[in-house]
Structure 1
Amino acid sequence: MRVIFMGTPDFSVPALRAIAARHQVVAVYSQPPRAAGRGQKPRPSPVHRAAGELGIAVRTPARLRDPEAQADFAALQADVAVVVAYGLILPQPVLDAPRLGCLNIHASILPRWRGAAPIHRAILAGDAETGVAIMQMEAGLDTGPVLDLARTAIGPEETTGGLHDRLSEMGAGLIVEVLDRLPLPATAQPEAGVTYAAKIDKAEARIDWSAPAIEVDRQIRGLSPFPGAWCEIGGERVKLLGSRVTDGSGAPGTVLPGLAIACGSGAVQVTLAQRAGKRALPVEELLRGWDLPARVE
């Protein structure tokens, strides 16, 4: 088929590569290059770079509401467009242009966790499972009918970073299966069970040690690697990036052996952390030569 691919971050790259191996990707749409690095030079997105490696033409419009941009999109005469974390709203003329419409890979079991941060929110909420859904796009926010979905359990020590990578590969495999079976019947999302995955605010990252250990553990894993849950240890801001619930008790913030930390109820064992200006380290390496205070803030 003639496929338009629309995506921007690392999460989207496996799907692009999988589709390009089986179909004709007539164009890739991605967010415009952004200034990054010490020199603040414009840097193409991960999808933009991957498309270049595959020899596929890339388009980076700042918006798709202009009639000219919409006409250029329609002129590609695509059978279908696949959208994966693209970052721009698709107006109705764009949604209607491909013969089979626009399909979206969404990293949740819709209708749970519609919106911007479904992977973070699933872990923060303590969900036992999540997955990827292939959705027929419409004007609403992740409201379209679902063509297929795949489920996976969330591991007890899994972080957003690890789950992100697994769901990215799952989505790539599932979209290829769906494209091979088009046209497919789509199932409307049920009205019951709708939740919204609001964008993560950095204000959510400060750890409150008076909370139960199970909540602190979810916060650490759910915000790892970005933005990174943090606390102050000896006046130094430290990101905690891996953890598990463990036995132990004490006043909230009390440091227990091996960098376990007492919470409002129970304790959390830190497994990965990052001191300011340094790389993330397993806790065994982090503690070498570091005299910990009696409590953290």
Structure 2
Amino acid sequence: MTKLRLVFMGTPDFAVPSLSALIGAGHEVVCAYSQPPRPAGRGQQVQASPVHRFAEAHGIPVRTPRSLRNAEAQAEFAALAADAAVVAAYGLILPQPVLDAPRLGCLNVHGSLLPRWRGAAPIQRSILAGDAETGITIMQMDAGLDTGAMLLKGAVPITAETTASTLHDALAALGARLIVAALDGLAAGTLAAEPQPEEGVTYAAKLTRDDGRLDWSREAAHVERQVRALTPWPGCWFDAPTAQGGVERIKVLKAEPAPDAPPAAPGTVLDDRLAIACADGAVRLTLVQRPGKAPVDGAAFLRGFALPPGSRLDAA
């Protein structure tokens, strides 16, 4: 293995295993770049990112510029004289002078099997679409949106039990292994980059809170995947009518298929265990949460909320 002088650029938990693996492999991480500290949590206290905290704990200097587009930031980056930069869910666009500065370029740890799911939310979109597998692509970055040539790939199956959280962790671990291997191959001259095919390109659009709204007019399989894909962020929900004539927003944390449920109009409550009719079939909401209360199973929710079988929820 050739010991390399590296810059690491990442922000969330997903990136931490890759940084840890690079340190463990004996590379010299001379600087970490991360998003600036921001308010987070219930108290909205300003907090450094997971990568920021991990890097500082390992004695690595951290920079948190709000942009890399100005000449001063680009000169500071180039002055690090890195062999390569490793980028994992960093959150800032790298302008061409930054991409060109390291001797071996900038390598991205991307959470999909490119060219499928370029963009911001590949983990969630792969589950939501019903893909059979996804994975990690180590990519040589260029100026496009996840369009660079591919160095290494590894696949992870998506099963009926896969959630955004479990897939996130599996891909983060896989990315850590692959980035070390990719750097070894690149430094040794044994790994050649392969251009992405032009067929099969899809885009993983950034998620918003409204993506979590459950639409009972969709197929039951889609609604069930939506809960697995969008928990914990942005979270899934529906509005339930209250006895006072208003609505209450109910979070849905877990759901499962309800294949034996009787047919009914989409949005109909079918039983006392919170099975809800969809466009075809039904889903059972197995863990839900009212505002300000603890999560409970569907039956317990219905014991405290007047929503008897036959009630209708908004279909969209």
Q: Do these two structures clear the TM 0.5 threshold for a shared fold by scoring above it?
A: yes
1:290 CA displacement: 5.2
Equivalent residue for 2:292?
277
Q: How does 1:1-297 map to 2 (within 5 A)?
A: 1-22=4-25, 23-37=27-41, 40-183=44-187, 184-234=191-241, 235-247=247-259, 248=261, 249-257=263-271, 258-283=273-298, 292-294=307-309, 295=311, 296-297=313-314
Further displaced range: 71-80 or 287-296: 287-296
Note if contact 1:243-1:268 (Cα within 8 Å) is conserved in structure 2: yes
Structure ID, larger Rg? 2
Instruction: Rate the CA distance shift 1:221–1:179 in 2: closer, same or farther, 3 A.
Output: same
The alignment's TM-score, normalised by the length of structure 2, stands at 0.88
Distance 2:281 2:104 in 1: 53
Unaligned runs of 5+ in 1: none
Count of aligned positions:
297
Instruction: Rate the CA distance shift 1:194–1:181 in 2: closer, same or farther, 3 A.
Output: same
Q: Secondary structure at the match of 1:256?
A: coil
Q: Deviations over 1:19-50 (max 9, x none)?
A: 11121111000011113345544211111111
1:166 CA displacement: 1.5
Q: Deviations over 1:39-67 (max 9, x none)?
A: 54421111111111111110111111121
Instruction: Rate the CA distance shift 1:280–1:103 in 2: closer, same or farther, 3 A.
Output: farther
CA RMSD of aligned residues (A): 1.9
1:286 CA displacement: 5.1
Q: Deviations over 1:204-259 (max 9, x none)?
A: 22222122111211222221111112112343211112222221132222223422
The alignment's TM-score, normalised by the length of structure 1, stands at 0.93
Identity percentage over the alignment?
59
Equivalent residue for 2:244?
none
Kindly provide the amino acid, as one letter, of the partner of residue 269 in structure 1: R
Instruction: Rate the CA distance shift 1:274–1:173 in 2: closer, same or farther, 3 A.
Output: farther
Instruction: Rate the CA distance shift 1:284–1:152 in 2: closer, same or farther, 3 A.
Output: farther
Distance 2:64 2:274 in 1: 47
Q: Deviations over 1:146-194 (max 9, x none)?
A: 0001111112132222211221111112112212222420110000000
Q: Secondary structure at the match of 1:233?
A: strand
Unaligned runs of 5+ in 2: 242-246
1:102 CA displacement: 0.3
Note if contact 1:15-1:171 (Cα within 8 Å) is conserved in structure 2: yes
Distance 2:41 2:291 in 1: 19
Note if contact 1:156-1:244 (Cα within 8 Å) is conserved in structure 2: no
